[in-house]
């Protein structure tokens, strides 16, 4: 860092890049206050050297927004994400993957702050772009399918059939890209199982839970936290009526 400052001067884009790299390091360590300071200085230099309407500035705005979000500074994060979205639309086009990624970031923020209709709208807009740009087989598409399905599952009980279709499509895409035996597939199979459990389709839920457990055991190990979680899910899954009978018998 000091060498770059001595060679190029403090207000040089190469110094800004170094500041950004240091910010990423702090962010990964959970040192969000220090990450924020470095991102802010990086942003100041890039705006001065490149102008506000620049894709590198948009990237830094999104990174700074993510740090504010981690610090529960949601209003600040929203402003920064929206500014990045405006720049991405202007410089990359409204149907660009840059726009899709920023829409997904905003959706995650709105979901966290319980602005559910806004979150769903952003996720759906991001998915439309991803499908148009990447086709229906990409990890970006799979991620958005899962996010929307989870929104339906948690917040829209009248849309559980749509959630099921999206979970299944997500699994299909992940299997095509990653192969069947992957952690990502395990997560999606488990999500589908939770949907079946909510619908009281217990036989299908058990099948999904056992398959998720098998995949986690194979990929993560017998004692991994996710493996333990799904082993417990399999063990405790039973229709409410059976649970009531078991309780009654235990009390007698």
CATH of the domain at 233: 1.25.40.10
Q: What is the pLDDT of residues 192-226, one digit of tens each?
A: 999 999 999 999 999 999 999 999 999 999 999 99
Cα 157 to the chain's mean position, in Å?
22
C-alpha distances (whole Å) from 235 to each of 207, 209, 213, 229 are: 12, 10, 11, 10
**Total domain count for the chain?**
1
Poorest-pLDDT segment among 101-110, 134-143, 154-163? 134-143
What local confidence, expressed as pLDDT, does residue 174 receive?
97
Q: Assess if residue 117 is contained within a domain.
A: no
- Angle (CA) 10-14-19 rounded to 5° is 70
Q: How many CB atoms lie within 10 A of CB 225?
A: 9
What is the arithmetic mean of pLDDT over 131-137?
91
Is pLDDT larger for residue 241 or for residue 220? 220
Range of the domain at 168: 163-240
Percent of the chain with pLDDT over 70: 90
What local confidence, expressed as pLDDT, does residue 250 receive?
44
Q: Classify burial at 236, counting beta carbons within 10 Å of its beta carbon; exposed 0-12, middle 13-18, buried 19 or more.
A: exposed
What local confidence, expressed as pLDDT, does residue 163 receive?
98
What is the arithmetic mean of pLDDT over 137-154?
97
Q: Assess if residue 224 is contained within a domain.
A: yes
Q: What average pLDDT is seen over the chain?
A: 92
What local confidence, expressed as pLDDT, does residue 238 receive?
73
Q: Model's pTM, two decimal places?
A: 0.87
């Amino acid at each position: 860092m000091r060498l770059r400052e001595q060679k190029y001067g403090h207000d040089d884009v190469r110094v800004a890049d170094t500041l950004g790299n240091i910010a990423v390091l702090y962010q990964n360590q959970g040192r969000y206050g220090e990450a924020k300071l470095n991102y802010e200085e990086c942003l100041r230099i890039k705006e001065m050297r490149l102008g506000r309407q620049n894709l590198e500035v948009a990237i830094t705005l999104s990174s700074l927004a993510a740090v504010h979000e981690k610090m529960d500074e949601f209003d600040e994060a929203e402003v920064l994400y929206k500014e990045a979205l405006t720049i991405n639309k202007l410089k990359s086009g409204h149907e660009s993957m840059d726009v899709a990624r920023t829409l997904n970031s905003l959706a995650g923020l709105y979901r966290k702050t319980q602005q559910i209709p806004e979150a769903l709208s952003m996720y759906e807009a991001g998915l439309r772009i991803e499908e148009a740009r990447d086709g229906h087989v990409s990890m970006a598409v799979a991620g958005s399918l899962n996010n929307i399905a989870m929104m339906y599952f948690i917040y829209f009980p009248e849309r559980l059939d749509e959630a099921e279709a999206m979970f299944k499509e997500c699994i299909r895409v992940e299997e095509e890209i990653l192969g069947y035996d992957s952690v990502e597939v395990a997560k999606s199979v488990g999500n589908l199982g939770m949907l079946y459990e909510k619908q009281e389709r217990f036989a299908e839920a058990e099948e999904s839970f056992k398959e998720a457990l098998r995949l986690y055991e194979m990929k993560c190990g017998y004692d991994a936290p996710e493996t333990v979680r799904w082993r417990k899910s399999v063990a405790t899954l039973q229709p409410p009526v059976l649970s009531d009978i078991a309780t009654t018998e235990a009390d007698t």
